Amino acid sequence: MTEQVFDWMAAANKKAKGKRPEYFDDPEDERMLSILMAVVGEVSVLRERMDTVERLLDAKGTISRDDIESYTPDKEAAYERGAMIREYIYRVMRGPHQMVEELQHAEPPVEEVSKELKEI
């Protein structure tokens, strides 16, 4: 390390110069989404690590941390892991994904449907 302790974890979080756009009415929502998205990313990382462990155990029966760190998927495994991440993204992004569907097909409130059914 360098003589003065360099806190790389703090340095990695440095903010980019330039005022951050505000997307939501409540600034706290900006922070909440940033934490949530970081966690969404980290869960994906855990899943990929678990997949690595499972594949190595399948192949070797017993493994070391070095095996995990040096694991490189072959083409088929890489595709399967890509598909695993994709499936995970679709699951956690269900809400925004359904917003697209709502935009495609506008629907009446269920209360209206309820009134309709009462009459037919």
Partner 1 sequence: MSKTVPNDQKLDVAPPYNAVARHGVSPQPSHDEIARFDFLANFNKFMASTLSPGNKLAYDKRVLPAFLKEHGREPQDRFEIRHAMNKDPFHKFWSALKRNSMEMRQQNGRAIVLRQIDELNAKARQYNEGAQGVKSTLELNPEIAVPRYQSAVDIHCMPGSYHGEELPGDVSAGANYDCGIFATTGGGLGALTDGGGQALVDWIKKERPGWEPRRVLDIGTTVGHNIVPLALAFPDCEFIAIDTAAPILRYAHARAQSLGATNIKFIQANAEDLSRWDDGTFDWVQTTMFLHETSGKALPKIIAEGYRVLADNGLMLHLEQPEYSDAMPLFEQFLRDWDAFNNNEPFWSSMHALDMKDEMVKAGFDRDELFETGVRAVVDREIFPEAPTGEDEDHGRAAFWHAYGAWKNADQMQEAAE
The CB density around residue 52, as the number of other CB atoms within 10 Å, is 19
Minimum separation from the CB atom of position 120 to partner 1 (A): 29
Could you tell me if 73 and 54 are in contact, meaning their C-beta atoms sit under 8 angstroms apart?
A: no
**Residue found by looking up tokens 């925004």 in the block:** 96
Check residue 109 for interaction with partner 1 (CB under 8 A).
Answer: no
Residues 6+ apart with CB under 8 A from 52: 68, 71
- Which chain residues interact with partner 1 by CB under 8 A? 1-2, 6, 8-9, 11-18, 20-21, 23-24, 30, 33-34, 37-38, 41, 44-45, 48-49, 51-52, 54, 68-69, 71-73, 75, 78-87, 89-90, 93, 96-97, 99-100, 103-104, 106
